[in-house]
Structure 1
Amino acid sequence: MRAAVLQEIGQDKLEIFDDIEAAGFGPGRVRIRVRATGLCHSDLSAMAGVLPQPAPFIPGHEGAGEVVEVGEGVTNVGPGDRVLVCWLPACGVCAACKRGQTQLCLAGFMNAGTPNFRRTGGSSPEVFGFAGTGTFAEEVVVDAGCAVPIPDDVPFDVAALIGCGVTTGLGAALNTADVSAGSSVAVIGCGGVGISAIQGARLKGAAEIVAVDPVLSRREAALRFGATRAVSPDELPDAKQSVTEGEGFDYVFEVVGRSATARTAYDHTRRGGTLVIVGAGAMDDFLQLNMFELFFDEKRIRPSMYGGGDVLRSYERTVALWRAGRIDLEGLITHRVPLGDINEALDQMRTGVALRTCIEL
């Protein structure tokens, strides 16, 4: 089958091979024919080495498709079922799962260090899948818990986004922050995840939602999705003054994954307000805060992992909100390209042109 492979960490181009096989099928496993996959910024981060990932690997973790076959013992799905790929399935038995914090389950990471593809040609036969998945391929083999059934009325491209970006952004506002009605919100970084956080804040009844992004097209998009105003990073201090009289926002979402923007977010959060860290950053990028400001300002710093709540329930909630017309998911997909044009799509994401690109397989 065809798949897009990064040969070495740090390269900015993927190579399309047609000699890839999905490996590891057996008891408890599911083979999925991928129909659509979203291009998430985390894929770029893994390619650049910001997020740890062994190479060579196939990026992609936002995918949806049809079940081809299931291994022994699999009962949650069967051949022909329509599913989305959950890159962080809950085991249900670990301490985090028992506490109800299934988004913190580490079981899904156990497979990330095992190659789940192989090449029939080439010098490196073993190929990894990003986050244990690798949806930039025509087929994937994953644990049964990664294959989540989707209703027939949910298109594959929409389902793919629910698998990561939408769940992450919506959940940050609905679960982690639990935004209060009438509050003031700023969202720094308005790609697909940031736009989803904006939609979540709007759902919760925030009175003011300020979208912050250096790219004009993203700021314009944020206004369509519920932001009350959109500014460049340089204009954020003025927005803080005009919206909050200089006090700072009740909630600030950092959706970039860098210490510099996290520090900016902290500085624009009011005393006693909430800073939500949504962006996935590097292990060697440190946020500096002094002990006095932590004590004196009493700002709450809330990291949000995969939406900060039960993932399967979040999927169901997202579908219900989409069906009711309360959130716009189709509008997030600004570009649709075939797998052969993946490198053009990567460049568009790097420049901020695209909110979310759907790769159609």
Structure 2
Amino acid sequence: MRLARAAVHDGSSSALEIQSVEVADPGPGAVLVRMGASGVCGSDRHVLDGDWTLPSPTVMGHEGAGTVEAIGAGVTDVAVGDHVILSWFYPCRRCVACLSGKAYVCTGSRSEECVLPDGSTALSRSGERIFPYLAVGSMCEYAVVPESGAIRIPNDVPFDVASLIGCSIATGFGAVTHDAAVEAGSSAVVVGSGGVGLSIIMALKLVGANPIIAVDRSAEKLEAARRLGATHTVEAGPDLADRVRELTGNGAAYAFEAIGRVETIESLPGLIAPGGKAIIVGLPPQDTPVAIDALALAESGKSLIGSNYGSTVPGRDFPRIAELYLAGKLPVDELISHRIPLEEVNEAFDAMRRGERARSVIVF
């Protein structure tokens, strides 16, 4: 048992409190990680703003990377001293989906319950159980996660970069390479130039898409999009479909929504050419239906695809993305606009709500 500082959500306020929590030693099949960095992600904001319901109190954060400090009985994938990225959706490795290579739709994971495979948590406060968000809780100095949720990476990948690979980078990269399977030379439009949108843009540049059109309301984010690979930038507005057609001829071959807003998801089919693919990457609030003209979608041969974690298989994809970063192919560090201490986490979320910053990363 050890004490650690953590950003705790009480389930009512949208602000986090920095508190001292107790962290238990790792049990069988579990890994104790001393955190090096944690991303500040829009999925965390959904919880704070009441869009998604979770058990509480909760230690927030699900994008994390750090150093293995202890391992439980039976752990063989990692050893003390390894640098690891944490996966917010740990696979069970036994269900049909996992055995089919589809860990991103594992039916045996309990990540979304915010508990370890046996239903326990390693966090407490004066005897009160605390839940780590998505069984990670990366906004804490220590995390205890299942072995399948700690993926070893080269030690020369900085923790701030590695933390983002665990969610936004893998999500954007996978949406392009796995879900859309974008072909070189194809046109693409990305609606939303936050962390995930910029990750999509980097991946589109990597696979040779052209043109790459970035859409946002923020001049700061559109500038970041240009720096990371967008060939054109467009300010969001009611004439977006017309602007995309002007730049592509008859609509884009691929359109990605990276915000999670009903209006922008509904606009996707109008941004793609006949036979094109529209990919929903951003996650909307719970129980939020969208209206799609199904007849027009079918008659034009368009596809609407849901992207869950970019169809990421952590053990396969995290090391691959880390190696692409080290080779200079994915400049993840350029995505980070602010490196902050844990105590400034609320300011980071406020900036996110105002549509400011590319990515904030907590550095421990």
- What's the secondary structure of 1:108's corresponding residue? coil
1:175 has 2:181 as partner: no
Deviations 1:174-205 (A, max 9, x none): 11111112211000011111111011111121
**Per-residue deviation, 1:24:** 6.9
Q: What's the TM-score, normalizing by structure 2?
A: 0.93
1:50 has 2:51 as partner: yes
Distance 1:80 1:321 in 2: 23
Indicate the residue corresponding to 2:17 in structure 1: 15
Which amino acid is 1:89 matched to? Answer: Y
The answer to which of 295-304 and 334-343 deviates more is 295-304
Question: What number of residue pairs does the alignment pair up?
Answer: 355
Indicate the residue corresponding to 1:350 in structure 2: 353
**Partner residue of 2:192 out of 185, 189, 192:** 189
Q: Is the CA contact (8 Å cut-off) linking 1:26 and 1:71 kept in structure 2?
A: yes
The answer to which of 23-32 and 107-116 deviates more is 107-116
Equivalent runs, 1:224-303 vs 2, <5 Å: 224-234=227-237, 236-245=240-249, 247-303=250-306
Equivalent runs, 1:142-153 vs 2, <5 Å: 142-153=145-156
Distance 2:278 2:331 in 1: 25
**Per-residue deviation, 1:282:** 2.1
Q: Is the CA contact (8 Å cut-off) linking 2:171 and 2:312 kept in structure 1?
A: no
Indicate the residue corresponding to 2:27 in structure 1: 26
Q: What's the TM-score, normalizing by structure 1?
A: 0.94
Which runs of structure 1 show a deviation greater than 6 angstroms over 4 or more consecutive aligned residues? none
Indicate the residue corresponding to 1:104 in structure 2: 105
Distance 2:149 2:245 in 1: 45
Q: Give unpaired runs (5+ residues) of structure 1.
A: none
- What's the secondary structure of 2:144's corresponding residue? strand
**Partner residue of 2:140 out of 131, 137, 151:** 137
Q: Is the CA contact (8 Å cut-off) linking 2:213 and 2:231 kept in structure 1?
A: yes
Q: Give unpaired runs (5+ residues) of structure 2.
A: none
Q: Is the alpha carbon distance of 1:146 and 1:93 closer, same or farther for their aligned partners in structure 2, counting shifts above 3 Å?
A: same
Equivalent runs, 1:64-213 vs 2, <5 Å: 64-109=65-110, 112-113=114-115, 114=119, 115-120=121-126, 125-213=128-216
**Per-residue deviation, 1:49:** 2.7
Distance 2:186 2:201 in 1: 13
- What's the secondary structure of 1:148's corresponding residue? strand
| Aligned-residue identity in percent | 39
Which amino acid is 1:27 matched to? Answer: P
- What's the secondary structure of 2:185's corresponding residue? coil
Which amino acid is 1:88 matched to? Answer: F
Distance 1:209 1:222 in 2: 10
- What's the secondary structure of 1:163's corresponding residue? helix
Distance 2:244 2:65 in 1: 40
